[in-house]
A = this chain, B = another copy of it.
Amino acid sequence: MNSPITAFAPATVANVGCGFDIFGLAINEPGDKVVAQISEAPGVRIQKITGDNGKLPTESEKNTASFSVMKMLESLQKTDIGIDLIIHKDMPLGSGLGSSAASSAAALVAVNELLGKPLTKHELLPFAMESEALACGSPHADNVAPSLLGGFVLIRSYDPLDVIQIQTPQELVVVVVHPDIEIMTADSRKVMKKKVSLSDAVMQSGNAAALIAGLLKDDYELVGRSLRDVMAEPARSMLIPGYDSARQSAMEAGALGFSISGSGPSVFALCRGEESGEKIKIAIMDAFKKNVGFDSEGYVSTINQEGAHVIN
């Protein structure tokens, strides 16, 4: 029998302020690990999940990691293979950090390695997207693409899928703070309006285009002032108690910009340099504690350029 393969996939910040459903970036930690091993009986099984407090489904059809692997095996016409998975959740669920995406990405990379790498990471993306539809009702790619590929990712189009990697300024640092409350992505999508005003759509486009310009021109100030979201933030920030004071504290501590990570409740700030990031992290965590009594976890990270990868 083959030896087990372990892969790691990083947490991700989807939307990145102004890029609802089109932008995502990978951070260095936290992330999930998935161990995959060939087994004799055909089919994909989850042997064990750690770190989820029993909250995640272990049925293959319902868990994003196993579901994406099933889709991959179907596409490769290898459904006669047996795969056992062990999932180590090293990040909070329902946190807005792409927890389900990281599990899928790690599982796909581990199984792809087990099978002798028949597919590129780009080719794994559609299977991870199918499992996102399972997790939150929409096959969005703004978590799975950066978790798989690393870096800052722009999804220009979903049909056909067109994913573009965007170089980022070297000193760009992401601060992520996860306050200890839970929001399910599917609920968080429900608060979004189905229609937006033309003027809001224009403003969102302008900021999205300007964020890309700022990243590619190494213009930190432009990156900061482009992090303005008129589509998701106004509604979603209401679901995060203490959001406005956390933002204010981050900006006063030197953040270039601040917004919600994915569908929240995690928030993120961008800044220049890790030292600045540490200060901003403390400022945000203190604000949540002082104003609404929330404990929180904080992370300071450069942009993760590697994405999901095998670690043994």
Contact = CB atoms under 8 A, between A and B. Distances in A.
B164 A213 contact: yes
A312 interface: no
A213 B166 contact: yes
How many chain copies does the complex carry? 2
Contact of A193 (B18, B156, B162, B198): B198
Interface in A196-224: 196-198, 200-213, 216-217, 222
A192 interface: yes
Contacts of A209: 19, 22-23, 154, 156, 205, 208-209, 211-212
A188 B166 CA distance: 35
B203 A20 contact: no
B207 A156 contact: yes
A75 interface: no
A194 interface: yes
Interface centre among A23, A196, A202, A208 (most CB of B within 10 A): A202
- Give the top 4 A-B pairs by smallest Cβ distance, nearest first: A156-B210, A201-B201, A216-B216, A205-B208
Given A20-B202, A22-B205, A196-B201, 7 more contacts: A22-B209, A154-B206, A154-B209, A156-B209, A194-B197, A212-B212, A212-B213
